Amino acid sequence: MVDPARKEHSPELFNAIALRYDRVNAVVSFGLNGSWKRRVGGHLPSAKGLRCLDLATGTGDVALDLLRYPRVSGVVGIDPAEGMLAVARRKAERRGLLSRAAFVSADAQRLPFSDGSFDVVTVAFGLRNMPHPVRALSEAWRVLRPSGRLMVLEFSRPPFPVFRQVHYFYVAHLLPGLGFLMTGDLPAYRYLHRTIMAFPEAGRLGRMIAQTGFSILAREDLLWGTAVLYAGEKKNL
């Protein structure tokens, strides 16, 4: 049994909700979670034969969506939660994509890949869950080929005061309640609130990406700053 004090930092928290994860996310985000993730592929490079790595892949939404682009030859999705990966593999099998998608249990802060192994690295709504996000970004830089592309999608804090207060109230009170009603797991959705509030806002996240060795190519603010999508290119340091 996982110690309650450590559970929120454990893959077991996500394993416990893996089978209901996609359905709950669709409901609590009013369908925006999926549409935001599909925007990631819009920042892919134009080259053909792209090999992609999706960090904190969870149930594989972003990894599998990238495969709808013909220029993507294959995707590896990594996550420490085996329960989430099992869902991702089943989704890939149902869509006939297992030959182009692999899902591996691994830590984004210590990637088990050689330098320059990938053309693209993505991470969607996962960076804030990592104890050392800068280390994960540095690892992304390491495994990317020269001029490789990084896309980071993450929650942020709306800059407009009125909308920010509405957003905070929803994330702090309504979202955990909805998550509990659908899964019976209140700690998992209280954890979501804490990570959103604790993670740097969009501007600081952009500086973090730049300081790790990437040139910022694009920034998309989604739903008045509720989330942000960055695209960056690996600089040769």
Mean pLDDT to the nearest integer, 76-94: 98
- pLDDT tens digits, residue range 158-212? 888 888 888 888 888 888 888 888 888 888 788 877 888 888 889 999 999 999 9
For the entire predicted model, the pTM comes to 0.91
- 47-66 burial, b at 16+ Cβ within 10 Å, e below that, comes to eeebebbbbbbbbbbbbbbb
- pLDDT tens digits, residue range 56-75? 999 999 999 999 999 999 99
Structure tokens at 146: 């020269």
Q: Are 103 and 75 in contact (CB under 8 A)?
A: no
Closest CA to 53 of 104, 110, 127, 125: 104
**Rg, C-alpha atoms of the chain:** 17
Instruction: Specify the CATH class of 4-18+31-157+199-234 in words.
Output: alpha beta
| Residue matched to tokens 């990594």 | 78
pLDDT at 2 > cutoff 60: no
